[in-house]
Amino acid sequence: MTPRVATGLDVWVTRKFGDIRGLRVGAIVNPTSVDGRLVHLADHLRRADGVLLAALFGPEHGIRADAQDMVGVSSELDARTGVPVHTLYGSTTTSLTPTRDQLDGLDALVFDVQDVGSRYYTFAATMLFAMKAAAEHGLRFFVLDRPNPIGGMIVEGPTIRPGFESFVGPHPMPIRHGMTVGELARMFVDDLSIDLDLTVIPCEGWRRAMFWRETGLHWVMPSPNMPTPETALVYPGGCLIEGTNLSEGRGTTRPFELWGAPWIAPEPLAEPAPWSEGALPRPCAFRPTFHKHAGKVCLGVQPHVEDPTRFAPVAFYTGMLSGAWAQRPDLFAWRTETFEFVADPIAIDLLYGSDRERLLIEDFPTPDDLEDLRAEWKVEEAEFLEKRAPHLLYED
């Protein structure tokens, strides 16, 4: 089947990589960096006339996307292309940014990684840090754009407040931002006044109302726990579970859709509520093979999304967290270990972007209180919609 959408890489293939002919290039890639026929960018670059692929850079999970979450990856030599591979997710914060030595001799960086549309999925942060490094060292920067798999119309969730910035939130925007990486790059340059020679190669055929299944493109897992585009649809809310001692379904075949703990009573949480619109919540049981509660039966609620245009994942999982806290505040706990290189604030506050949501949950909110919280989000969402407008590349 011919895809309805051509990615930025597909567009570059038709142009025979003329934009970078004569340049020594470093490419930020992982397994998603493929064209519509699943040919990898690195293979294209090593065959392109007049282009020298000099280095590869891998984001979180590594160049092969085989490392689990928050596992540092070491640098290596790529057996296929023979070029050095530099990690942009090691064991220290300095590893998150390309170094002078890694950029020495390069003329340009190319970013071609599939994002999933959530602020705390770290690939956009990797792109931002690489953009700043490229600007500092006088390199050109190319973004081969790709569709937002959960669409470009819907924006949801709180914006990061000052003091809560991190690798899972390097720039103020809602959890679900509704932008492509190319649009984000344009916004970063403008908002942060980055003096960068930026070129975005847009997709062809993508519209903001499209979800992944409408693109005709093959889904390649961008990380070990993002197996399907349906995972990406729930992830803006499901990732919040990482900030707790509940299982977010790692160690199962449906991470972020399955969530729970051995002590959850799921039936009350699965009752219809304002935050479950667009989905059928189902009481579920699962046994993770690794990660939290490994080998134990966990009980929780799986949202079966019926209408992705109405499903609000941040609101849904916030309702689930509130209900789980209310059931067993003696067993429910927030994750306090260092999270994405930050020890304080704690993980849940970094994910939400402030402590507002955590404090509300700890105060045993009513459904009306949670709806008032969503009203506060809507103010922040509206402000962001206005801010992002000049940087959008695609029609509704």
Query: Are 351 and 248 in the same domain?
Result: yes
Query: Are 218 and 256 in the same domain?
Result: no
Query: Are 93 and 147 in the same domain?
Result: yes
Residue 65 is predicted with a pLDDT of 53
Query: Are 273 and 136 in the same domain?
Result: no
Taking the C-alpha atoms of residue 389 and residue 393, their distance in angstroms, rounded to an integer, is 9
Taking the C-alpha atoms of residue 267 and residue 1, their distance in angstroms, rounded to an integer, is 42
SS3 of residue 98 by DSSP: coil
CA-CA-CA-CA dihedral for 143, 149, 152, 158, to nearest 10: -100
Number of C-alpha atoms within 13 angstroms, CB side, residue 135? 17
- Domain stops at, among 201, 222, 243: 222
Query: Are 203 and 251 in the same domain?
Result: no
Burial class (CB in 10 A: 0-12, 13-18, 19+), 43: middle
Instruction: Write out the chain's pLDDT in tens, 396 residues.
Output: 567 999 999 999 999 999 999 999 999 999 999 999 999 999 999 999 999 999 999 998 778 755 454 444 555 778 778 889 999 998 899 999 999 999 999 999 999 999 999 999 999 999 999 999 999 999 999 999 999 999 999 999 999 999 999 999 999 999 999 999 999 999 999 999 999 999 999 999 999 999 999 999 999 999 999 999 999 999 999 999 999 999 999 999 999 999 999 999 999 999 999 999 999 999 999 999 999 999 999 999 999 999 999 999 999 999 999 999 999 999 999 999 999 999 999 999 999 999 999 999 999 999 999 999 999 999 999 999 999 999 999 988
The residue whose two tokens read 């890639």 is 29
Query: Are 24 and 157 in the same domain?
Result: yes
Query: H or E element: which one contains 53?
Result: strand 52-58
Is residue 71 domain-resident? yes
Residue 62 is predicted with a pLDDT of 76
Query: Are 217 and 271 in the same domain?
Result: no
Q: What is the CATH number of the domain that holds 283?
A: 3.90.1150.140
Query: Are 67 and 195 in the same domain?
Result: yes
Q: How many domains is the chain built from?
A: 2
Is residue 378 domain-resident? no
| Residues near 70 by beta carbon (within 8 Å), at least 6 away in sequence | 60, 339, 340
SS3 of residue 181 by DSSP: helix
Query: Are 171 and 271 in the same domain?
Result: no
Residue 70 is predicted with a pLDDT of 44
Q: How far, CA to CA in Å, does 154 sit from each of 174, 210, 295?
A: 11, 11, 37
Segment 215-274, tens digit of pLDDT: 999 999 999 999 999 999 999 999 999 999 999 999 999 999 999 999 999 999 999 999
Taking the C-alpha atoms of residue 109 and residue 235, their distance in angstroms, rounded to an integer, is 29
Is residue 380 domain-resident? no
According to DSSP, the residues that pair with 281 across neighbouring strands are 303
Is residue 2 domain-resident? no
Is residue 118 domain-resident? yes
Any alpha helices (H) in the chain, and if so which ranges? 8-14, 41-47, 100-103, 123-136, 181-192, 229-238, 266-269, 313-327, 347-352, 356-362, 367-388
Residue pair 242/335 in contact (Cβ under 8 Å)? The answer is: yes
According to DSSP, the residues that pair with 156 across neighbouring strands are 176
Is residue 370 domain-resident? no
Residues listed for the chain: 396
Residue 78 is predicted with a pLDDT of 80
| Residues near 49 by beta carbon (within 8 Å), at least 6 away in sequence | 16, 17, 21
Q: Fill in the amino acid letter for 321.
A: L
Is residue 383 domain-resident? no
| Residues near 4 by beta carbon (within 8 Å), at least 6 away in sequence | 205, 214, 215, 216
Taking the C-alpha atoms of residue 278 and residue 320, their distance in angstroms, rounded to an integer, is 15
Please state the pTM of the whole predicted model: 0.95
Q: What is the CATH number of the domain that holds 186?
A: 3.40.50.12170
In the chain, helix, strand, coil percent, each to 5? 35, 15, 50
First-to-last CA distance in the chain?
25
Segment 261-278, tens digit of pLDDT: 999 999 999 999 999 999
Number of C-alpha atoms within 13 angstroms, CB side, residue 222? 21
- Domain stops at, among 168, 199, 222: 222
Q: How far, CA to CA in Å, does 252 sit from each of 87, 151, 232, 321?
A: 27, 26, 16, 20
Query: Are 174 and 315 in the same domain?
Result: no
Query: Are 169 and 285 in the same domain?
Result: no
- Farthest-apart Cα atoms in the chain, separation: 64
Query: What is the domain range of residue 183?
Result: 8-222
The residue whose two tokens read 């402030």 is 354
Is residue 388 domain-resident? no
Residue pair 134/143 in contact (Cβ under 8 Å)? The answer is: no
Query: Are 248 and 207 in the same domain?
Result: no
